[in-house]
Structure formats: C-alpha cells, structure tokens
A and B are shown apart, each in its own frame.
Chain A
Amino acid sequence: MVSQLTRNERQLALVILSALALCGLAMAAIGRDDLIGGHGAFILLASLGMGFVVTSGYYHAEPSDERLAHYYDDPSKVGIVLAMIWVVFGLFIGDWVAWLLVYPEMTFDGGWASFGRLRPIHTTAVIFGFGGNALIATSFHVLQRTSRARLPDQLSPWFVLLGYNLFCLLAVTGYSMGLTQSKEYAEPEWYADIWLVIVWVTYFVLYLRTLARRKEPHIYVANWYYMAFILVVAVLHIVNNLAVPVSIAHAKSYSLFSGVQDAMTQWWYGHNAVAFFLTAGFLGMMYYYLPKKAGRPIFSYRMSIISFWGITFMYMWAGSHHLHYTALPQWVQTLGVTFSVMLLVPSWASAGNALLTLNGAWHKVRDDATLRFMMVAAIFYGLSTFEGSFMAIRPVNALSHYTDWTVGHVHAGALGWVALITFGSFYSVVPWLWKRERMYSAKLVELHFWLALAGTIIYVFAMWNSGIIQGLMWRTYNDSGTLAYSFVDSLIAMRPYYIARAIGGLLFLIGAAVGFYNIWMTARGALEESPTNADRPAAVPVAARTIEAGE
C-alpha cells in the first residue's frame, strides 16, 4: 500500500497521522478520568500503528507514472474485504441479540453483553460498517469507470476508507462501554461525530475532484445517486448530532434539541438515513452493476432520472410518519403521510426499471446466482417501499408502530434489498477487480443465494406475524369493555416468533460467512471447479498471483 503513494503523499500521510496521534494523546491525557481517555488511547495507538506502516515503507521506490494508465482500485479491494468482515460481525451480533430475546439470561452479569448495548453494535456494524464500506468501495470503482478517469491521488481514498473505519470502531467499542447519545442510528458521541465530518468532507471533495477530471462529458446516473448520498448524509449527520459536551474531558454530551423538536429532528434524520444511505447509495450501485452484469443497458435512463429527483425531493418530507399520534402537531403528521405515499412512484419506478432491464435475459438470471441476487433485491426494494408507504398511513401505523412489524419491515429492506444488492454487486465486481476470470466457486454463490433468501423470508414472516399479533393483542377489548390482554400475555405469544426470527437470522449469517470465504478465495486467486455453464468459456487458469488485502 505505501509503495503506491508518492513521496509527497507519504509525507502528508505522516503529517496527518501525527496530528491524529496528538489528538489521541490529548484526549487520553485530558480525559483520563473518563471513558473518553480510553478512546484517546485507542486513537493514539491506531495512528501510531499506521504511522509505523507508512514509515517502514517510506524509502520504497516511488510508483512510476505508468500507474496513471490504470484505475486505482486497491482502496476498493480493501473496502470490500472490510465490508465483508463487518457484515459477518454485525450479523453475528444481530443474531446474538435475537437469541437474547429467547434466552435473556445470557448476559454474563455484565453491561457489555446486555441487549441495550449490543443492539446498537449490531445496527452500526451492519449499516455503517457493512453498508458504508460497501458504498465507499463501489463508489470509487463506479466513479472511475463512468468518468473514465483515475482517482486524483492515492492518499485521499485511503484516508476516507480507513478514517471511516476508525469512526465505526470508535462507535462500536463506545457502545459496549456505555457511550451513546441514544439517538437511533446516530449513537456515537460528539468527538466521533466530528471525526466523521472531516472524513466525509474529504470523501465529497474526492468525488468532486474525480468528476472534474472526467473524460466522459455526461455524468452517469449512478454517480448522481452516490453524490446525493454523500451530500445529504453530511447535512443530516451534522444537524442531528448538534450537542453540547459536558466538557472536553467528558465523552458525554447533551443534545441541543429537546422533546418534540428533538424527536422531529431525530426522525427527519432517521428516515432520510434510510433514504440517502440505504436507498440512494445502493440504487447507485444497482444502476451500474445490474446493467453491466446483465450486459444490457438500463431499461429506461429517463425513468432513472425521474426517480432520482423524486427520491431526492420527497423523502425529505416523509420523516414525521414515525411520530403518528404523538405530541407532534397533526399537520406535520399529515404531510408525512402524503409524501410517504407519493414516494411510492419514484420507488417503484426504480424497482421496475431494474426488473425490466432483466426482461429478455431471464435465462441469465436463471443460470447466474449473481444476477438473481440483484433481481431479488429489486423485488424486495419494491415490496418494502410499498410496505413503508402503507405503514405510514395513520390507522395502519396505529397498529404497527412500536411492534415487531416495524422490525420486519426494516429487515425486508435491509436484508432483502440492501444486503442482496450488495452481495450481487460484490460477486460481479470481485472478479473484475482482482482480474480473475470468475468467482472462486459458483456453487458457493448459489448456496449463499438460497441461504440469504430463506433467511430473509423466515425473518420477515416471523416478524410480520409477531408484530400484527402484538398490535392486535394490545388493543383487544373483552366483552366488558376492558383490555383483554396484559402486556406479559403478548410477551408469551411472541416467543415462537422470536425463535423463528433467530433461526432466519442464523441462515443469513451463515450465507454471509460463505460469501466472505468465496470472496477471500477469489482474491487469493483460487478456482474451485470448472464452470458448469456451457455459455462460459472453459476455465483458463489465471496465473495464481497471491494478493494480500491492502497490497
């Protein structure tokens, strides 16, 4: 990795790492009586470790100008491996907390192992660790191909990728020690938030600099989605995390907003994080990898533009549907419903566009599990956006809110859409990036597909059932006009579904582990069996150059 940096970049890297190490040192010293001191020490060690790597490669020969004739893909490769590590870890924790709801005793009498601290570790690891790394890795790949230009330098992509992972690590280690703002999906404390802003601005600037160097006049639509993702997430992150720390020696902070204002800001954030992190970014992925893998241009480019502006505009208004029947003013709730329902139009336009692109290539979808991942992802995208609009309607929400139905809905989107489109894209891009003829094992891709699909379906059905039963039990009256069930009654009724959910999650986790193994073996240059499909060329052994992640 270091040998690819120019001398100037190596110097700059050392400057950045020294500054970071100093910040870590200062935090460790000033905050020694608080948990922030531990994080300071962590930052110090991380930057010293990286500093050691850079110094030891400092006198390697500089890269030749020949590099400029190629795209710069190593950050994408490392990003993909990191995303796979995060997903296996995050799904493991997720399944663990699912089992905790069946066997609540498994907490070892320690705070770190209790549901409330593990749950944000799960959500952060899968959304930010897996999703974020996948977006960063693929965005670098797509950006260069569609601009027909190399990234402008070698240092900033590493800064973005590794800096982002530092943020994720601060987040998850923080929760297990009890550091959290309690804002869902924005739990990390103020210093981690500030660090993310720095990383994110660099990311955005890197994107603009590459686009400015592009040789292709038109900016391909996938980049629009990636850019909306980067930009809007920055705005959301900054506004929702405004807070006053107790002191610079304390990790704890108090949010600027309170009560109803805070609730609205939080769900404006929460909903648009779904929109711009989990939707726009991954649509960008889909609009590049799906046509490319299918070998067919996107069905309607026009429709993709219309969906883009529709999503960009309308999602912003929809967040208040998270707060129906609460102390939030009624008109805001109504506005939320209206826009949530209208959102169906651009959402289905995107899903339909994807499926119509595959229309006429169904034989490929049948034979190739990679394309099937993407097809099923588009179907789940269509389903869960429909479900989302439906659940935003007030009377439906009265039943569904606070129940497992919401959890089921989220996972239809997160497993069915986000994870499947990512796996499909990874299985496409990994052989291209590592210059392999194909994935290590087509059979394992197939196995992963069925595990993931079965896991998702079991999960979602279990949660639909439990959610609806829960919602109904809470509002059922008996003949004498009093509530028929106690809360604990509903709790007992949930148990079988919680077991089913945990099993579904386990299948999905095993699938992801299989995927990780397959990607790892492909990166190492192994090929398992020869491809079975007649329409593929016979396997030509690729010179087995072993590549380490990060080389």
Chain B
Amino acid sequence: MDIDHNIAVVVAKSFGLFYLIALSIGVLVYVYWPSNGKRFDDAAKNVIHDEDAPWH
C-alpha cells in the first residue's frame, strides 16, 4: 500500500469528524427547511390512502 498508515489514521480521525458534522448540519437543514414541510406531510399521509392500483 502506498498510503502511509499514519496518514490514513490522521485523515480518518480529522476529516472523518468534519465530514460527520457537515453531514449532520446538511441533513438537519434539509429536514427543517420550511418549504419542505408540506411535502413531508403529504408523503406521510399518502401512504395511508393508497388505492390498490397503479396510476396512469
């Protein structure tokens, strides 16, 4: 392997953490973005009322 073990460890420890934080923020922003709310509500409700045939 070309990548030195220590470099790999440092990357895993530092970048991994930042990546985790960035990702969490991204997900939270997406989830709480106001205009997404309605879409989510619709999605949650729609499964309850799916009639048993595909749409055309």
A contact set with B: CB distance below 8 Å: 68-71, 144-146, 148-150, 215-216, 218, 220-222, 288, 291-292, 295-298, 301-302, 305-306, 309-310, 313, 317, 331, 335, 432
B7, CB-defined interface residue at 8 Å? no
B contact set with A: CB distance below 8 Å: 9, 12-13, 16, 20, 23-24, 27-28, 30-32, 39-48, 50, 52-56
A sample of 18 inter-chain contacts (CB < 8 A) reads: A69-B54, A69-B56, A70-B54, A71-B53, A145-B50, A148-B50, A150-B54, A296-B48, A297-B45, A298-B44, A301-B43, A302-B40, A305-B27, A306-B27, A306-B28, A331-B13, A335-B13, A432-B52
Q: A220: which of B16, B23, B32, B47 is its contact (CB, 8 Å)? A: B47
Chain B residues near A222: list those with CB within 8 A. Answer: 47
Q: Kindly list the 6 A-B residue pairs having the minimum CB-CB distance in the complex, ordered from nearest.
A: A297-B44, A215-B55, A301-B40, A148-B55, A301-B44, A309-B27
Contact, CB under 8 Å: B55 / A149: yes
Known: A148-B55, A218-B43. 4 other contacts (CB 8 A): A69-B53, A71-B53, A297-B44, A301-B43
Interface SS of chain A: helix, strand, loop or mixed? helix
Chain A residues near B23: list those with CB within 8 A. Answer: 309, 313
State the CA gap A398–B41 with chains docked (Å): 46
Question: Closest B-chain residue to A308, C-beta based?
Answer: B27
Chain B residues near A313: list those with CB within 8 A. Answer: 20, 23
Interface SS of chain B: helix, strand, loop or mixed? helix
The distance from the CB of B49 to the nearest CB of chain A, in whole angstroms, is 10
Contact, CB under 8 Å: A220 / B43: yes
Chain A residues near B43: list those with CB within 8 A. Answer: 218, 220-221, 301
Chain B residues near A144: list those with CB within 8 A. Answer: 54
Contact, CB under 8 Å: B27 / A301: no
State the CA gap A150–B50 with chains docked (Å): 14
Chain A residues near B47: list those with CB within 8 A. Answer: 145-146, 220, 222, 288, 291-292, 297
The distance from the CB of B32 to the nearest CB of chain A, in whole angstroms, is 7
Known: A297-B44, A301-B41, A306-B28. A149 touches B9 (CB 8 A): no
Chain B residues near A302: list those with CB within 8 A. Answer: 31-32, 40
Question: Closest B-chain residue to A146, C-beta based?
Answer: B47
Question: Closest A-chain residue to B43, C-beta based?
Answer: A218
Question: Closest B-chain residue to A69, C-beta based?
Answer: B53
Contact, CB under 8 Å: B44 / A291: yes
Chain A residues near B52: list those with CB within 8 A. Answer: 71, 145, 432
The distance from the CB of A339 to the nearest CB of chain B, in whole angstroms, is 9
Chain A residues near B54: list those with CB within 8 A. Answer: 68-71, 144, 148-150, 215
Chain B residues near A292: list those with CB within 8 A. Answer: 47-48
State the CA gap A148–B51 with chains docked (Å): 9
Question: Closest A-chain residue to B9, C-beta based?
Answer: A331
